[in-house]
Amino acid sequence: MLKSGAAAGSKTAAVENLLIDLRSVRHLDIRLLDANGKLLAGNHVEAPVSSAPAWFVALVDLFSAPAPALARDVLLDGHTPGSIVLAADPSSETDEIWRTFRTLGGLAAILFLALNGLVYWLLVHSLAPLDKVLAAFAELQKGNYKIRLPKFRLAELARMSTLFNEMAATMEQARAAQCGLTRKLMLAQEEERRNLARELHDELGQCQAAIHAEACFIVKRAEQERGSVLESARAIVAVTADMQKLTRSMLARLRPSALSELGLEDSLRELVSAWAARQQQVACTLDVEGGLDDLDEPLQLAVYRIVQEALTNISRHSDADCVKIAVQRKSTDARIHLQIADNGKSERPPQPGLGLLGMQERVSGLGGYLELIAESERGFKVIAVLPIPGDSAGNRELAVAAVA
CB-based burial label for 6 (10 Å; 0-12, 13-18, 19+): exposed
Assess if residue 35 is contained within a domain: yes
For residue 109, report the phi and psi dihedrals to the nearest 5 degrees.
Answer: -65, -45
Q: pLDDT digit of tens for each residue in the chain (404 aa)?
A: 334 444 545 555 655 565 555 555 666 677 767 767 777 666 665 555 567 777 777 777 777 766 676 777 766 666 667 777 777 667 777 777 888 888 998 899 999 999 999 998 888 887 778 888 888 888 888 878 888 888 888 888 888 888 999 998 888 888 887 777 777 777 777 777 777 777 666 666 677 777 777 777 777 776 666 555 667 677 777 777 777 777 776 666 666 666 777 788 888 998 899 889 888 888 999 999 888 888 888 888 889 889 988 898 888 877 888 999 999 987 777 889 999 999 887 665 555 566 677 788 788 878 888 888 887 777 889 999 988 876 544 444 444 333 44
**Among candidate residues 86, 114, 141, the one where a domain is terminated:** 141
How many angstroms separate the CA atoms of 324 and 339, rounded?
Answer: 8
Contact 387, 334 (CB under 8 A): yes
Assess if residue 293 is contained within a domain: yes
Find the domain containing 129 and state its range: 1-141
- 160-176: burial string, b at 16+ Cβ within 10 Å, e else: bbeebbeebeeebeeee
Tell me, what's the pLDDT at 350?
Answer: 54
Measure Cα distances from 336 to 142, 257, 332 in Å.
18, 22, 11
**Among candidate residues 88, 117, 141, the one where a domain is terminated:** 141
Assess if residue 225 is contained within a domain: no
DSSP string, 1-30: -HHHHHHHHHHHHHHHHHHHHGGG--SEEE
The DSSP code for 287 is E
Assess if residue 341 is contained within a domain: yes
The DSSP code for 45 is S
- Give me the number of domains the chain comprises: 2
DSSP string, 56-87: HHHHHHHTSPPPPPEEEEEEETTEEEEEEEEE
Tell me, what's the pLDDT at 363?
Answer: 85
Assess if residue 151 is contained within a domain: no
Tell me, what's the pLDDT at 401?
Answer: 35
Tell me, what's the pLDDT at 339?
Answer: 94
Contact 311, 272 (CB under 8 A): yes
Nearest to 371 by CA among 361, 381, 362: 381
- Report the amino acid identity of residue 185: L
Contact 363, 301 (CB under 8 A): no
Nearest-10 crossing angle of helices 354-365, 155-199: 120
Tell me, what's the pLDDT at 225?
Answer: 63
Tell me, what's the pLDDT at 403?
Answer: 40
**DSSP three-state, residue 375:** coil
How many angstroms separate the CA atoms of 162 and 144, rounded?
Answer: 17
260: Cα separation from own chain's centroid: 44
Assess if residue 191 is contained within a domain: no
Assess if residue 335 is contained within a domain: yes
The DSSP code for 164 is H
How many angstroms separate the CA atoms of 123 and 112, rounded?
Answer: 16
**Among candidate residues 116, 141, 166, the one where a domain is terminated:** 141
- Please state, as a whole number, how many other Cβ atoms lie within 10 Å of the Cβ of residue 375: 14
- Please state, as a whole number, how many other Cβ atoms lie within 10 Å of the Cβ of residue 62: 7
Looking at the structure, tell me whether residues 135 and 5 fall in a common domain.
yes
Q: Give the CA angle between residues 331, 337, 340 to the nearest 5°.
A: 145
Nearest to 186 by CA among 329, 307, 364: 364
Tell me, what's the pLDDT at 256?
Answer: 64
Model's pTM, two decimal places? 0.47
Assess if residue 206 is contained within a domain: no
